[in-house]
Amino acid sequence: MNNYLLILIVLLLLITVITLSVVVFKKLNHLWGELKQIQTNNQIHLNSSIGVNIHEHLVVPDHLTSRSFVCLVASTGCSHCHEAIEELLQERDKLTVPILCLLMVTEETNAMDDFHSKFGNEMEIVEMSMETMWKLKIYSVPYYILVDNVGEIKIQKLTLKATLKSMHNVEALFV
């Protein structure tokens, strides 16, 4: 009888240890995920221009200087940029702010002219040097920037979907 009782106690202890291990593992796994997210957010913030005043780096059209707006950073030869512009133009009705295209200046005059011909009637285009891109910590195109009504960069994203989601989360900016 004592042997059975001892075996039962050992089994109960084993089950308790396993259960606690699973609970602790799940909690640690969750905390590890949160830590990774914090690390990613910090890295993004360290490598971003959030808080920078865009007017210090670019001449923005007068009618946008006291308004919030979305910038799409693009390059003439980037097919993904052309697709991103088409997608952004399709979503234009959902936006509460105007669109500005920041076009990376290239030496290909024909490509620049073609770009202006294709998209110039659809949105404002401001040409931007590579040096300005680096100052704004923009390292790839297409790239989206949300600027508030005083010119401060509030959001930087790589996709339109992420930009629209972020805009929805900071809707108070656009009152």
Q: Pick 54 or 163 by higher pLDDT.
A: 54
Residues 31 and 71 in one domain: no
DSSP state of 47: T
71 lies in which domain range? 54-174
* DSSP-derived pairing of the beta strands 153-157 and 99-104: unpaired
Q: 91 and 158: one domain?
A: yes
Q: Is the pLDDT of residue 36 over 60?
A: yes
Lowest average pLDDT, out of 26-40, 46-60, 62-76, 78-92, goes to 26-40
Rounded to two decimals, the pTM is: 0.66
Do residue 84 and residue 150 come from a single domain?
yes
Position 168 scores a pLDDT of 61
Looking at residue 93, what is its pLDDT? 79
Same domain, 63 and 106: yes
Looking at residue 91, its amino acid is E
pLDDT at 170: 54
Read off the pLDDT of each residue in 16-35 and give the average, rounded to a whole number.
78
**Do 116 and 155 have their domain in common?**
yes
Residue 37 sits in the same domain as residue 107 = no
Residue 41 in this model has a pLDDT that exceeds 60? no
Beta bridge partners of 71: 100, 145
Same domain, 62 and 8: no
If one counts the domains in the chain, the total is 2
What is the C-alpha end-to-end distance of the chain, expressed in Å? Answer: 77
Residues 41 and 73 in one domain: no
> What's the mean pLDDT when you consider all of the chain?
82
Residue 61 sits in the same domain as residue 36: no
Are residue 38 and residue 121 in the same domain, yes or no? Answer: no
Residues 60 and 84 in one domain: yes
Mean pLDDT lowest for which of 43-57, 83-97, 115-129, 148-162?
Answer: 43-57
Report the CATH number at residue 149: 3.40.30.10
The DSSP output letter for 74 is: E
* One domain for residues 34 and 111: no
The pairs formed by 46-51 with CB atoms below 8 angstroms and a separation of 24 or more are 47/137, 48/137, 48/153, 48/156, 49/136, 49/137, 49/138, 49/145, 49/153, 49/156, 50/153, 50/154, 50/155, 50/156, 51/152, 51/153
